[in-house]
Structure 1
Amino acid sequence: MSRAQAVALATLVLGTGALAVLLRLEPGDPFFVAGGLAVALLWVGGALAAGGVRVAHDGTTLRAALLGVGAGAAAAGVCLAAGFVVAHVEVLREPASDVLDHARADTALVVAMALVNAIAEEIFFRGALYDAVPRRLAITLTTAAYALTTLGSGVLLLTVAAVLLGLITAGLRRLTGGVLAPVLTHLTWSVAMITLLPDVLAIGR
């Protein structure tokens, strides 16, 4: 195992545990925002320690940005459509609503923290971790690892969304050669989920 792989693995284990604790906090818990920022620092610190990341290949910045925003909007559309179905299934709806209740407790700070984490997660998962694993398995392994980090939340909808988002962002990393497109995809998706999904899930209540 190379140094980059060892650092990436250690960061993945620590980050998964920290995220599981964070997502199980009660809405309004004063530690939620600070804890979220700490998790973001963990992802970024691990990525830098593992060797850093590439933003995009030369000459592809605008294309990567457009692809990222477009893919994020498409992913959000799929998740919101699924949300209409989940809204009528209480066992799936309530855990997802509980996580989103954090945004209702302190919208501005939670949204800011979520966006910081979106950037940090892409820097680690589609940056350092992607570079640390064999290229032929990078999409599969980084997507599986990303989905694994959400299991501790106990929210099935979040894990399913992580698989979809992981596949899209890893595909964009391969296509564009850097993390710019994945970051913009994740940011676009996150904003839509925080601002729109709560109202969609409320339909079933």
Structure 2
Amino acid sequence: MPLLSSTFADRIVSLLPRELVDKVPRDHLESDEAFHRRRRVVGAVSLTGAALLGRSLSTEPDSKQFYALTMGVAATWTAGAFASGPLHLGWEQDHDEGLRRPLVTPVVMGAAAFGAFYGAALVARRIPVLNRALTNILAFADQGSAPLVTMTTFANGAAEEVFFRGALYAAAGTNHPVVKSTAVYTLATTATRNPALVLAGGAMGTLLGLQRRASGGIQAPMLTHLTWSALMLRFMPPLFRKTGAETVRPGQPPQV
């Protein structure tokens, strides 16, 4: 059975792009004292940030409380990340086997991720619980001030990467850090009580974790996340505005 599982995993890995599999050379070693300090900071910040996240999405769209709390979430993730210890931008290999900062490839991956999510959204519209969940969460973008929603979306996208793929990933150690960081990332989204966000957290957390693993830093996952967020913010609300789905109060769990 272990052989079968290993073979299946190898087949999955073989289908992934090289940018998600091949690791660039890096040396991010730190002392035991620094590592344990990072873990303590990450543990405390994870709980605080998740609580603020859940509270922010229980407010009304376009309210002062919503913008204040969402920026508070971003500030919590960012402050916790930098307080935990050094962060790294990471590298990718070019065609000449040299190293460069990842720029174009992460943007392309972000666009590809959006395409996959858009296709999944077309299916989700036919599933009542997901349809209501997406309509509920997209109300914040649809009814809010465009500049403020854009600012808070980008601030939180960047902050999540410096914390979850930066500090938390490093605190996970060398034993399955992608799985651990994705699990905590997904668990944090459960505070929102929105199944669509939880599913998105698991999917994007895995992709972004693999980018962090391959590049050794936060630049690649951050660019992918911001590209994905920009496209989701632009194209997803109109898709669900047309469904005529029943609107529920933001933060209220969809009824099954």
TM-score, structure 1 as length reference: 0.94
Of structures 1 and 2, the one with the larger relative CO (CA 8 A, separation 6+) is 1
8 Å Cα contact 1:47/1:127 also seen in 2: yes
Residue 85 of structure 1, CA deviation: 1.1
Distance, in Å, in 2 between the alignment partners of 1:134 and 1:180 is: 20
Asked if 1:66 corresponds to 2:104, the answer is: yes
8 Å Cα contact 2:55/2:69 also seen in 1: no
Question: Which residue identity lines up with residue 88 of structure 1 in the other structure?
Answer: R
Structure with more helix by fraction: 1
- Give the alignment of 1:74-85 within 5 angstroms: 74-85=112-123
Partner of 1:122: 161
Partner of 1:29: 63
TM-score, structure 2 as length reference: 0.76
Partner of 2:207: 168
Residue 149 of structure 1, CA deviation: 1.2
8 Å Cα contact 1:86/1:92 also seen in 2: yes
Asked if 1:186 corresponds to 2:225, the answer is: yes
Question: Which residue identity lines up with residue 226 of structure 2 in the other structure?
Answer: L
Residue 203 of structure 1, CA deviation: 4.1
Residue 89 of structure 1, CA deviation: 2.4
Distance, in Å, in 1 between the alignment partners of 2:164 and 2:68 is: 21
Distance, in Å, in 2 between the alignment partners of 1:194 and 1:161 is: 14
| Residues 51-81 of structure 1 deviation map (CA, whole Å, 9 limit, x = unaligned) | 03101248321xx222211111111111111
SS in 2 for 1:2: helix
Partner of 2:89: 55
Q: 122-131 or 33-42, which moves further after superposition? A: 33-42
Distance, in Å, in 2 between the alignment partners of 1:202 and 1:30 is: 23
**Unaligned ranges ≥5, structure 2:** 1-34, 93-98, 245-256
8 Å Cα contact 2:110/2:225 also seen in 1: yes
Question: Which residue identity lines up with residue 60 of structure 1 in the other structure?
Answer: R
Question: Which residue identity lines up with residue 230 of structure 2 in the other structure?
Answer: V
Partner of 2:32: none
SS in 2 for 1:25: coil
Distance, in Å, in 2 between the alignment partners of 1:91 and 1:198 is: 17
Root-mean-square deviation over aligned CA pairs: 1.5
8 Å Cα contact 1:37/1:116 also seen in 2: yes
Question: Which residue identity lines up with residue 43 of structure 1 in the other structure?
Answer: W
Rg (Cα) greater in structure: 2
Q: How many residues align?
A: 203
Residue 21 of structure 1, CA deviation: 0.5
